[in-house]
């Protein structure tokens, strides 16, 4: 299963672990993804999606339907 937020499109980023001796080793910064079930009253259905926690806060603020609509326009979701 890919580590991509289904609404915002957040993906893993690449960076370095830097030691005290300034040695650099490549590492990945994964998004904090959670599996969450939402009810969409406009479409009268339940959907289960993997969303990042920052997107969960945005969904709580603006509503799931508005965020899915924005994601469809941006092309980051297939819901």
Tokens for 20, please give them.
């005290």
Q: Is there a contact between 47 and 40 (Cβ–Cβ < 8 Å)?
A: yes
Query: Hey, what domains does the chain have and what are their CATH numbers?
Result: 13-74 (2.30.170.40)
pLDDT digits (tens, 9 = 90+) for 39-64: 999 999 999 999 999 999 999 999 99
pTM of the full predicted structure?
0.85
20 has a pLDDT exceeding 90: yes
30: nearest Cα among 55, 6, 3? 3
Collapsed DSSP state (helix, strand, coil) of residue 54: helix
Position 2 confidence tier, pLDDT thresholds 50, 70, 90 = confident
User: In whole angstroms, what is the distance from residue 38 CA to residue 59 CA?
Assistant: 10
Give per-residue pLDDT as tens, 64-73. 999 999 999 9
What pLDDT is attached to residue 58?
97
């Amino acid at each position: 299963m890919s580590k991509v937020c289904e609404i915002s499109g957040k993906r893993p980023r690449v960076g370095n672990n830097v030691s005290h001796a300034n040695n650099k080793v490549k590492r990945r910064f994964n998004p904090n993804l959670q599996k969450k079930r939402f009810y969409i009253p406009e479409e009268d259905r339940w959907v289960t999606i993997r969303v990042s926690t920052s997107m969960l806060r945005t969904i709580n603020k603006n509503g799931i339907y508005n965020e899915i609509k924005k994601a469809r326009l941006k092309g980051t979701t297939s819901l």
